[in-house]
Amino acid sequence: MLEACFRFWRKVLIASTSEVYGKTSKVPMCEDDDRVLGSTRVHRWGYSTSKALDEHLAFAYAAHGLPVSVVRYFNSFGPRLDPKGYGSVVASFMGSALAGRPMTVHGDGSQTRCFTYVDDTARGTFLAGFSEQAEGMAINLGNPAEHSIRELAERIRTLVGSKSEIVLQPYEAYYGPGFEDTRRRVPDITRAREILGWGPTVDLDTGLERTLEWWKQTH
């Protein structure tokens, strides 16, 4: 795709991920920070590596003048989530809470993430795609408000009005031995604010309410 865009000189926007930062303990995470990953024997880091390779290839073409921008998403959520929960802890918890099933939290639940409502994600993506200043750069698109996974489960259970039990499950029981996780993942959005004039406008509770309303209308 990059080769074709280079041949016909078309701008490219790469949708990347906060996973590229790996298990670094430095927070907030800045776009030019070092990546910290585990062994290649730990499958956990395969997705991070594949997205980083996308970025490497994109920036290689950018070095030859192709207009390329990269956005890194931080746990985007909202209407149209996969109801089966694939790839989204919000969808997994909401589906379980609505069905009255146990809500499974991996590890001790103290690991934190930052959740970005889909409207904010889409708006930031659009701005990055049409901004000349963003060309040749990676830009974090995330809500810096930090929440633990256990807290997220409790918020969704309360919102739904569910009596589902919150169950802690060791990582190894689900992912197998040797799994590694990122304890905190928090974006520095200085670059997004300065270059795109972007910042999140929808907080977690409001986003969850909108997501639940969509879920009830479509399922």
Measure the CA–CA gap between 171 and 92, rounded to whole angstroms.
Answer: 16
Q: Give the angle 101-106-112 at the CA atoms, nearest 5°.
A: 115
Can you read off the two tokens belonging to residue 201? 């406008």
Cβ-Cβ contacts under 8 Å for 59 (sequence gap 6 or more): 68, 70, 136
H or E element at residue 218: helix 204-218
Q: Which of 47, 61, 73, 86 is catalytic?
A: 47
Burial class (CB in 10 A: 0-12, 13-18, 19+), 65: exposed
Q: At what angle do helices 149-160 and 204-218 cross, to 10 degrees?
A: 50
Of 5, 154, 4, which Cα lies nearest the Cα of 67? Answer: 5
CB atoms within 10 A of CB 1: 11
Examine the residue annotation and report whether 47 is marked as an active-site residue of this protein.
yes
Alpha helices in 29-162 (DSSP H): 46-62, 89-99, 118-130, 149-160
Strands 137-141 and 147-148: unpaired
Which positions are annotated as active-site residues? 47
